Amino acid sequence: MKHIFKKGSNPQRPTLLLLHGTGGTEQDLLALADKIDPEANVLSVRGNVSENGMPRFFRRLAEGVFDEEDLIFRTEELNQFLDEASDKYEFDRSAITAVGYSNGANIAASLMFHYKDALHAAILHHPMVPRRGISLPDLSGKKVLITAGTNDPICPSQESIDLQQLLQEASADVEVHWENHGHQLTFSEVEAAAAWYQNKSAGRR
């Protein structure tokens, strides 16, 4: 998978996995990593699916309707890539914190839904529930922040509420940060994510 890896200055910090939204690239969220943890490793990945020339992490059938078969395949593909990247770049595979926006947040949530130890923590900006009607692994000890907009036309509020409930039922530690905005990623959301990370995630395993 096309990606950027930046080695951090503090090996005790987690590796930040950056996952862009539809039409984004591996460059998009680098500024967020600097805001959240400037000392951490950064692994920023570009989605392998193209929708009318726009990179995505998995196919969809329509707005808000995921291609479930492709989602499962791409989730496995990303999980295997993380295994390989941790060997290549020599970072702790058990200490990855995902930072995803929109489609990137959805694939990060899917990693947690399908693989117990894929992520240590996740910051999910405007996610949806990746799959319904499946049993989640035991996510005890996993930490998740969901940021959501109350006026988001692409990701209805109920999606964030449902995702929080499903993750909590799997024993994850989940918080939700609400903003009275739409689908855009706001500076105040990034600030909230940085504060949550410093309190909950950085180096605490």
Which residues are identified as catalytic?
A: 102, 152, 183
User: By 3-state DSSP, what share of the chain in percent is helix, strand and coil, each rounded to 5?
Assistant: 35, 25, 40
Distance CA 188, CA 136 (A): 31
Q: What is the DSSP letter of 182?
A: -
How many Å from the N-terminal Cα to the C-terminal Cα in the chain? 28
Contact 64, 127 (CB under 8 A): no
Could you tell me the CA-to-CA distances from 121 to 44, 76, 94, 142 in Å, in that order?
16, 18, 10, 5
